[in-house]
Amino acid sequence: MGKRNGRGPRTRSISNPDKYRLIIHWPDRADPIPFSTSDRARARRIARQHATRGAHVDFQLHDNWGVYTTTHTYTPETTA
């Protein structure tokens, strides 16, 4: 087999840059704020930070092409 005329390799390693997605709902905003990352620890840290500041956060895991499943919901922490 010869060279493939400058095209890339037949198989490509496709990493998923949006493996974890957060949907952040603030009480004073009408539209939620999406946040995506491939780092699980970073996603969990950001979810906890926003929840302590009063936001409702949905932690979602990427399943398939454009399909996410909510695995955990962070509710705002109340200080009594």
pLDDT classification of 76: cutoffs 50, 70, 90: confident
Q: Which helix or strand (DSSP H or E) is residue 25 part of?
A: strand 20-25
The torsion region of residue 27 among left (phi > 0), alpha (psi -120 to 50) and beta comes to: alpha
**Assigned token pair, 27:** 């009480």
Q: Which helix or strand (DSSP H or E) is residue 43 part of?
A: helix 40-52
Q: What is the pLDDT of residues 3-59, one digit of tens each?
A: 556 666 555 555 556 788 999 999 898 999 999 988 899 999 999 999 999 999 999
